[in-house]
Structure 1
């Protein structure tokens, strides 16, 4: 059974070994020409380059995740109504919630998709560096590159070493660098989730089951990385820390420029936009409910009333006396109103 599971994961990871090693080798050929093929800086920057390529390829998925996450936050009042209505019927509640998710094009698991899709790359890089530490090559890496990666040092610590496996004269440097990266990885994970909860979640979404899930991610996920990070090679820690920094910056940009309505981030954006308009001397935006649609245009102002042109006495004399108003003809009496001659 275990052999079958190992064969299954091996079949999945083998193509990823080739893709990961190909990107890593490509960046190393560039940075190696600058810092030297065997230097730790060239291999560290190659890992950073690999991270940027992976995260850039996930941007479309991130956009989809943002849209689904916004919908998930905005429909929380409706979800709570369903929970109250069907609190004694779990099956009907699940059906109604799934119908609501489908109608609003919301995926409740979208927040985990970027993380789940990165895990295979993460595991491939882990095995790639771990194998290099033992002199084994995977993917397109040559034996010379494997030996260079295995011995490459960054701040006196080998990139292939782990916090738990540190030994020898450089054990202190390895543990110190690994500890710094683990703390950075944990802190960026926590701050990214906290940024989302404090700035881009409406008040209605801060209570209920969805809020509990977000709090679970806020505290549990960094703890998982902190515990597991001590067993990761320094190169893998560098990959994950860079990925977290990318996520934090990407999320900051989205929250700042496209916040969820009714959140502190939306209020801050309104204040910034108002300040920019005042700085340019533009009027404030119209009040809510009076905003013109894209097809509407403001009505033109009424032309000023023109005063009659003044005339001289000679001009008035030439025009003659004013006409008398036309009088209506007298009404003829009807038959019933005519006097009887008798």
Structure 2
């Protein structure tokens, strides 16, 4: 069964195709042959702007979790032999604060279908029964429907295409590294926290925070580069979407972290 032929999905793709082609047409007098790529970037910026309230909600949730961390550690210590009681007390604590352990996960869930739609737009030869004109569009001479891995496998990779793919993928990796440096959780014993504001791991008898160890820090750092790896295999249009998305997300998180600092940052 062809999932993309399912009428609601085919209609969604057809509408997205029409919007992108219309934007590309409007931008062509200014941008030229890169108008379709500019349309992808513009749509990405519009989507990210629409998700700003969700980002604010996520930042507030992170701040709340950091403030509750000492209380959660105390509950773990008090009810470590009674998992069911611990779960009830934990959910009660979150409920009293008007939040949940999963608050802030919405942005990832919202973005997933958008990436899927853009990906489909640039891999399907036909959409809703008509030829996919987007596949004919290019970005600095590189088809927006092609991927770095695909061109390497087909033996069609040119120096120009390598440069375009390299800039986009390297940009995603650089943003990932900046994100890692800015938001890696501090390790236990870090001098950035005051003694009068103990972390959960510093409480007597409390379990060590699994996110505070060096191994977890390395894992979280490596995860920042997964997007760059994904960009090697997806169409260039989707890679552009990912590049703009991670760059926007980094800038937004930096600004929101200043507006909603974590517990450790506020007491440093």
TM-score, length of structure 2 as denominator length:
0.78
Q: Could you say what the CA RMSD is over the residues aligned between the two structures, in angstroms?
A: 3.3
Aligned residue for 1:106, secondary structure, equals coil
> What is the alpha-carbon distance in structure 1 between the residues aligned to residue 13 and residue 100 of structure 2?
30
Partner residue in 2 for 1:208: 209
Contact in 2 for aligned 1:73/1:205 (Cα 8 Å): no
Task: Give the counterpart of 2:30 among 20, 34, 53.
Answer: 34
Structure 2 runs not aligned, ≥5 long: 187-191, 194-198, 202-207
Contact in 2 for aligned 1:163/1:231 (Cα 8 Å): yes
Deviation of residue 105 (structure 1)? Answer: 2.0
Q: Which moved more, 1:166-175 or 1:85-94?
A: 166-175
Instruction: Work out which structure has the larger RCO, using CA pairs closer than 8 Å and 6 or more positions apart in sequence.
Output: 2
> What is the alpha-carbon distance in structure 2 between the residues aligned to residue 138 and residue 53 of structure 1?
25
Q: Is the aligned partner of 1:186 residue 2:173?
A: yes
Task: Give the counterpart of 1:69 among 49, 62, 76.
Answer: 62
Aligned residue for 1:263, secondary structure, equals helix
Q: Is the aligned partner of 1:126 residue 2:135?
A: no
Task: Give the counterpart of 1:52 among 45, 65, 77.
Answer: 45
Task: Give the counterpart of 1:102 among 90, 95, 112.
Answer: 95
Query: Highest Rg: 1 or 2?
Result: 1
> What is the alpha-carbon distance in structure 2 between the residues aligned to residue 72 and residue 9 of structure 1?
43
Contact in 2 for aligned 1:179/1:230 (Cα 8 Å): no
Q: 1:188 to 1:173 in 2, by over 3 A?
A: same
Task: Give the counterpart of 2:83 among 77, 85, 90.
Answer: 90
After the TM superposition, which residues 156-175 of structure 1 pair with which residues of structure 2 at under 5 Å, given as runs? 156-166=141-151, 167=154, 170-175=157-162
Q: 1:97 to 1:194 in 2, by over 3 A?
A: farther
Contact in 1 for aligned 2:4/2:10 (Cα 8 Å): no
Contact in 2 for aligned 1:162/1:174 (Cα 8 Å): no
Write out per-residue CA displacement over residues 37-73 of structure 1, whole angstroms, 9 at most, x where no aligned residue: xx1x201110001101111121121111111111011
Aligned residue for 1:110, secondary structure, equals coil
For these two proteins, the number of residue pairs brought into alignment is 250
TM-score, length of structure 1 as denominator length:
0.63
